[in-house]
A and B are shown apart, each in its own frame.
Chain A
Amino acid sequence: MVVDLKGLVVDYTLGRHPFTVLDIPAWTLPQGAQVAIFGPSGCGKSTLLHIIAGLMAPTRGTVVICGEDLGRLSEPELDRFRANHIGYIFQEFNLLQGYSALENVLLGLTFSTLKPDRLLARELLARVGLSQRERHLPSELSVGERQRVAIARALAHKPTLILADEPTGSLDPHHARDVVLLLQEICREHDCSLLTVSHDAEVVRSFATSLPFLELNRAFHTPPTVGGDG
């Protein structure tokens, strides 16, 4: 299993009021699977991705990713784990503005154990249809192109698992469909698992396996929007 969650609980405190945002008794994601989790905004989907990426520690429970129990890793070990095993795609791309498309892709493997490989980065950019845009800065690219660069960056260090947080949230429906299909294809080619969270029904329909988040999460309530939590 690429993802293996057991007894996962995440509590938040907003002001004086504690509430549970995630309560997932057990859930797994097999190697090579492509799954979309859908649900309304603010129901904890992004929090789940942050937990799986090792950016947050759950209040209780175990999180085993690619065979590694994240609870047993120190912060620097988690950073290295993420650099080597996780690729992440954001709704707002988060490309570094001073870096060209090619450099943004190269950044994806800067902190991994792999050597910076310009050839690989170029191949990835070509694969997402941006071979002519290598030297362009993010500000010189369209939103669809920026998301393609972000996909190439997420794949640069050959991760085992790609996490996509509302990957089409900033795209128009036509581009959104193209990007999702591209993402699915590339993940298949690179044999990596894909876990997408989205509130967009169109995106969810394009996945063979989809899962309503409120079914997965036993914390039935709609909390107020908490920072970074989608």
Chain B
Amino acid sequence: MKLGWIIGKSLRQHSLSTGFAVVSIALGVALIIAVVSLREQTHRNLNEAGMGVDAILGPKGSPLQIVLNGLYHMEEMPGKIKWTYYRKVLSNPIVEAGFPFCTGHSYAGFRVNAVDQHFLTNFEYQPGKTFSLSTAEGGEGRLFRALDEAVAGWAVARELGISPGMTFNPVCGVASGPVHKNSITFVGVLAPTGTPHDRAIYIPLERFYTLEGHENVASMATDEQYREISGAYLKIKRVRGGALNLNLQGLKYDINQSTAAQLVIPNEVLPKLMAIIGWVDGALFAVALLVTGLGTMCLLVSLVSALRERRRDIAMLRFIGATRRTILGLVLTESLVIALLGGLLGLLLGHGLVWIGSLYIKAETGLLFSWLYLSTADIWLLPGLILLGLCAGLFPAMQAYRLGVLRNLRPLS
């Protein structure tokens, strides 16, 4: 209590340098928390996005392009695959279910994907979780029943203000292109899933082939021999313990040896994606460490300069009975208090940054990031700050410890 009073007075006495040190540390901590939280949540989200899809059957081309198009509604599919080939793969004993889709259309910047109703009722975007239209969960309306009906993902509906009864005309192409004359009515809005599926509009598969301007492929709607699809999500049977059937690699090998299609396993491709973008968060993390290092230096400089100003005060404290250890403890505690204050401010700022980032990421990708997510950085924050405070405070504390009483109480005149 007594020492707390002296520390409080000292911090107030040097409020400018204390404030500067607190802000410097806070900036570093905020950056570390934001970078680590966003990185971990990105990993988690990418893994979860892949969890709903064990494998994607797609055309020959870049596996990463197929994953980006199939799971994240980005890029374009490099081609088409035959429906008959998809059916053949579907009949493989290790394949539990398949969800065919056609991509290549858009509306107001959002992808319009053609799927069968089976996708909207049975596809698990996370283990055990299927799409819902329940108003209690944030959805509304019903599934499409007719060709000119569509269901909007939650983020699309929110951003475009879509509600059941509204209509739209799909654009041929993912950026710009001719607008199809078919007017399609939204009949439902999916409840939020926190996955990129929130950022797409879903129309019936048959509608894809019969859109105005698609006359050359209209027969695909009825003739399965000629039908083509962009790809299909595959659910693979589990073996005991929930692991994927080991024969998946055999199936992948067989398919990839053929010229008809390729099988892409998202959980194999996503780490490559993370490796590609990993240097960015590595660089950001390095910058965050650098800023924290500078914050620590600010704290050290602040303590040393405060100590120079306070030599007489400290000598006086020693004179009136403070032991060397007490003085050591005072300076170290002061350093710890500044580090902890900076850490607390950084914690709030960091989570604030994550909140801002989550809004942007949600708008761009549909992925849900939580500003309350407890990352590794949060867990290590307290011990890290204690270490930082002790490191920064040790040198000035030792200087204060060694301070000569009589030498520093010499008359000024």
Instruction: Give A contacts to B, CB under 8 Å.
Output: 50, 53, 55-56, 75-76, 79-80, 82-84, 88, 90-92, 94, 96-99, 103, 107-108, 110-112, 116, 153, 227-228
Which of A79, A97, A108, A227 is B406 in contact with, Cβ under 8 Å? Answer: A227
Q: Which residue of B lies closest to A165 (CB)?
A: B411
CB of A98 within 8 A of CB of B321, answer no
CB of A116 within 8 A of CB of B2, answer yes
Contacting residues, chain A, for B324 (C-beta < 8 A): 75-76, 79
Please tell me if B254 contacts chain A, counting CB pairs below 8 Å: no
Q: Mark B351-393, 1 if CB is under 8 A from A, else 0.
A: 0000000000000000000000000000000000000000000
Which of A56, A79, A97, A116 is B318 in contact with, Cβ under 8 Å? Answer: A79
Contacting residues, chain B, for A111 (C-beta < 8 A): 2, 317, 320-322, 326
B413 → chain A, closest Cβ, in Å? 8
Q: Which residue of B lies closest to A229 (CB)?
A: B406
B314 → chain A, closest Cβ, in Å? 10
CB of B410 within 8 A of CB of A228, answer yes
Contacting residues, chain A, for B319 (C-beta < 8 A): 53, 55, 82, 88, 94
CB of A50 within 8 A of CB of B6, answer no
Which of A75, A97, A110, A116 is B320 in contact with, Cβ under 8 Å? Answer: A110
Q: A55-B406, A116-B2, A227-B406 are in contact. Are A94 and B316 (CB under 8 A)?
A: yes
Q: How far is the CA of A164 from the CA of B234 in the complex (A)?
A: 92
Q: A79-B321, A82-B320, A107-B320 are in contact. Are A227 and B407 (CB under 8 A)?
A: yes
Q: Knowing that A96-B316, A227-B407 are A-B contacts, what are 17 other residue pairs whose CB atoms are under 8 Å apart, sorted by A's residue number?
A: A56-B406, A75-B323, A82-B319, A82-B320, A83-B320, A91-B411, A94-B312, A97-B313, A98-B9, A103-B9, A110-B2, A110-B6, A111-B320, A111-B326, A153-B320, A228-B407, A228-B409
* Best-surrounded residue of A94, A112, A116 (most CB of chain B within 10 A): A94
CB of A98 within 8 A of CB of B13, answer yes
Q: How far is the CA of A18 from the CA of B312 in the complex (A)?
A: 29
Please tell me if B402 contacts chain A, counting CB pairs below 8 Å: no
A20 → chain B, closest Cβ, in Å? 19
Q: Which residue of A lies closest to B406 (CB)?
A: A228
Please tell me if B243 contacts chain A, counting CB pairs below 8 Å: no
B258 → chain A, closest Cβ, in Å? 82
Q: How far is the CA of A83 from the CA of B319 in the complex (A)?
A: 8
CB interface residues, B 1-50, toward A, < 8 Å: 2, 5-6, 9-10, 12-13
Contacting residues, chain A, for B147 (C-beta < 8 A): none
CB of B410 within 8 A of CB of A227, answer yes
CB of B411 within 8 A of CB of A92, answer yes
Please tell me if B412 contacts chain A, counting CB pairs below 8 Å: yes
Contacting residues, chain A, for B411 (C-beta < 8 A): 91-92
* Best-surrounded residue of B6, B13, B323 (most CB of chain A within 10 A): B323
Q: How far is the CA of A229 from the CA of B325 in the complex (A)?
A: 26
Q: How far is the CA of A179 from the CA of B412 in the complex (A)?
A: 21
CB interface residues, B 396-413, toward A, < 8 Å: 405-407, 409-413
Which of A83, A103, A227 is B321 in contact with, Cβ under 8 Å? Answer: A83
Which of B12, B320, B322, B412 is A98 in contact with, Cβ under 8 Å? Answer: B12
Q: Which residue of A lies closest to B407 (CB)?
A: A227
Q: Mark B292-334, 1 if CB is under 8 A from A, else 0.
A: 0000000000000000000011001111111111100000000
Q: How far is the CA of A83 from the CA of B412 in the complex (A)?
A: 24
CB of A55 within 8 A of CB of B405, answer yes
7 contacts between A and B (CB under 8 A): A50-B406, A79-B318, A94-B316, A103-B9, A110-B2, A111-B317, A227-B410
* Best-surrounded residue of B5, B13, B321, B406 (most CB of chain A within 10 A): B321
A95 → chain B, closest Cβ, in Å? 8
CB of A80 within 8 A of CB of B9, answer no
CB interface residues, B 168-185, toward A, < 8 Å: none
CB of B313 within 8 A of CB of A96, answer yes
B410 → chain A, closest Cβ, in Å? 5
B309 → chain A, closest Cβ, in Å? 9
Q: How far is the CA of A94 from the CA of B12 in the complex (A)?
A: 20
CB of B321 within 8 A of CB of A84, answer yes
